[in-house]
C-alpha cells in the first residue's frame, strides 16, 4: 500500500477530526441552492446537482480502485481535513463540488448554440473549465495534498485527467441544463443520486471497501 493511501485510510470517516467550520460551509451551500430555488432557476439547479452526483459516482469508483488494487486510489486526498469521506474525497471538497455546478452554469451563455472563436460555446467551456480545474489540481498535487500514484494518471499524462477526470462533468452538466424535458432532467439527477446512495451505503458503509 502506498504511504499516502495508508495515511488517508487512517483517518477515513474518523469523527475526531470534525470541526465546526462545517456549519458555515454547509450554510453557504444551502444559501446558494436557496437562491436558485427562489429564482426558480431549475435548469441551473438540476445541472448543478448532476455535476455533484457525478462527483460522488466517480469518487466511489476511485475508492473501488483502491480496494481491488490494495495499492492506492487513482487520486488521494491528504493533509488536514474536518472529515475524510472517501480515500480521494474530503468533506471540504465535497461541499465545493456541491456549488461548483451552479458557478459554472452561471458563466456560460444562455444560448447553447452561440459560438466562441468559431467553436460551440458548450464545447469551448467544457475544454476551458476542464483545463482550468486540472491546472489547479496540478498545483495542489505539487504541494503534496493530492498525490497521483499511478504513472498513467500523473505527469506528463495530465491530458488524461482533462479528458477523463473533468470533461465528463461538464458534458453531463451542460446536457442536463440544456435539455428541454424537465422529466428527463429529474430522471437523470434522481437516478444518479439513488445509484450513489446505494453504492456508498453498500460498498463503503456496509462492506467497508472504501
> What pLDDT digit, counting tens, does each position of 81-95 carry?
999 999 999 999 999
* Residue 28 · residue 103 · CB < 8 Å: no
Statement: residue 113 has pLDDT above 90: yes
Residues, the chain: 210
For 3-38, write each residue's pLDDT tens digit.
999 999 999 999 999 999 999 999 999 999 999 999
State the pLDDT at residue 53: 98
State the pLDDT at residue 153: 95
Statement: residue 79 has pLDDT above 90: no
**Dihedral sign of CA atoms 142, 148, 150, 154 in order:** negative
* Residue 66 · residue 5 · CB < 8 Å: yes
Integer Cα distance of 145 and 102 in angstroms: 26
Q: What is the percent of the chain where pLDDT is above 70? A: 100
- Average pLDDT estimate for 50-71: 97
- Please, which pLDDT band fits residue 162 given cuts at 50, 70 and 90? very high
State the pLDDT at residue 54: 98
Looking at every residue in the chain, the average pLDDT score rounds to 96
- Please, which pLDDT band fits residue 99 given cuts at 50, 70 and 90? very high
State the pLDDT at residue 199: 97
State the pLDDT at residue 44: 97
- Average pLDDT estimate for 55-68: 97
State the pLDDT at residue 22: 94
Burial class (CB in 10 A: 0-12, 13-18, 19+), 153: middle
Amino acid at each position: 500500500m502506498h504511504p499516502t493511501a495508508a495515511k488517508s485510510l487512517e483517518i477515513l470517516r474518523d469523527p475526531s477530526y470534525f470541526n465546526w467550520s462545517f456549519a458555515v460551509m454547509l450554510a453557504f451551500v444551502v444559501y446558494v441552492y436557496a437562491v436558485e430555488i427562489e429564482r426558480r432557476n431549475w435548469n441551473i439547479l438540476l445541472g448543478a446537482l448532476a455535476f455533484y452526483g457525478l462527483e460522488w459516482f466517480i469518487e466511489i469508483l476511485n475508492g473501488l480502485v483502491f480496494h481491488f488494487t490494495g495499492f492506492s486510489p487513482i487520486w488521494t486526498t491528504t493533509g488536514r481535513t474536518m472529515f475524510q469521506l472517501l480515500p480521494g474525497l474530503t468533506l471540504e471538497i465535497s461541499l465545493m463540488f456541491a456549488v461548483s455546478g451552479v458557478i459554472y452554469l452561471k458563466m456560460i451563455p444562455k444560448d447553447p448554440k452561440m459560438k466562441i472563436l468559431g467553436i460551440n460555446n458548450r464545447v469551448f467551456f467544457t475544454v476551458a473549465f476542464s483545463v482550468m480545474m486540472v491546472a489547479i489540481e496540478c498545483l495542489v498535487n505539487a504541494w503534496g495534498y493530492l498525490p497521483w500514484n499511478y504513472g498513467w494518471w500523473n505527469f506528463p499524462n495530465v491530458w488524461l485527467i482533462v479528458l477523463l477526470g473533468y470533461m465528463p462533468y461538464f458534458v453531463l452538466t451542460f446536457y442536463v441544463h440544456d435539455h428541454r424535458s424537465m422529466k428527463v432532467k429529474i430522471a437523470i439527477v434522481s437516478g444518479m443520486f439513488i445509484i450513489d446512495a446505494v453504492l456508498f451505503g453498500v460498498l463503503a458503509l456496509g462492506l467497508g471497501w472504501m
